[in-house]
Structure 1
Amino acid sequence: MTEDQRHPDIEIYIKDRSLERITQWLQSVCQSLKRDFEQGQVHHFIGSIDGCEIPVMIHEKVSGKAWTSIWFNSDQTPWIKDLDCAEQAARELDTEIRCIASGWTTGDDPDEWWRVEKEMIEKIHWRT
């Protein structure tokens, strides 16, 4: 996947933020957000962004107790790539965000991630 090619979906990992705080952030990103269903630590929503209904899944405690995953299952998000979303989330949630460094293309290093916090963006190896 090339650097500027739109990712088919967006997934970020948020450090040390409650489900309530993450949901508040999602409500600020979406024109509307409705809870679809929950099962344990997995929460499904339908968000409306720029007229598109986008499935959103929040999965708490995906890597230890500190990390929560948010997956926007659509290519119709406001972000071209995961890193764009991570930068916005890091600013607005005031915490560390991680996302995969590439778009999950064959041959990519699955341990290579972006670490975004405040104004810092760095590539790291994250082995969970």
Structure 2
Amino acid sequence: MRIGELAQRAGVSTRSLRYYEQNGLISARRRANGYREYDEDDVKLVSEIRSLLTHGFTLDDARPFVECLRAGHTSGGDCADSVEVYRRKLEEIDSEIRTLLARRAELAAQLCAGCAFTRGES
């Protein structure tokens, strides 16, 4: 299939596909006329990349998942390197949650102090 069909089937722009190709995540075969040619496996790869990006992963994070699919696994998360990326991402999210909870507690304390001040309870 050509780039436009892959873009439509995977729900991405042709520009995104060229960007993924430029970053080595997908590779197009070239027809004699120079057109890019893709197959069904590329639909799965692009869908995996798109899903990961939607969930906050980077293109570099996506590499082990793409390699896992290229190795013949049914899911990009079936390989040890992909599992490691999942673990690292969960640690990052947990850290962000802790940071947000600390900021929330700080703001709540400031709010309480502000409310006490406006009631004259300094």
TM-score range, shorter chain: under 0.3
Instruction: Considering fraction of residues, name the structure with more strand.
Output: 1
For normalisation by structure 1, the TM-score amounts to: 0.24
For normalisation by structure 2, the TM-score amounts to: 0.25
Instruction: Considering fraction of residues, name the structure with more helix.
Output: 2
Larger RCO (CA under 8 A, 6+ residues apart): 1
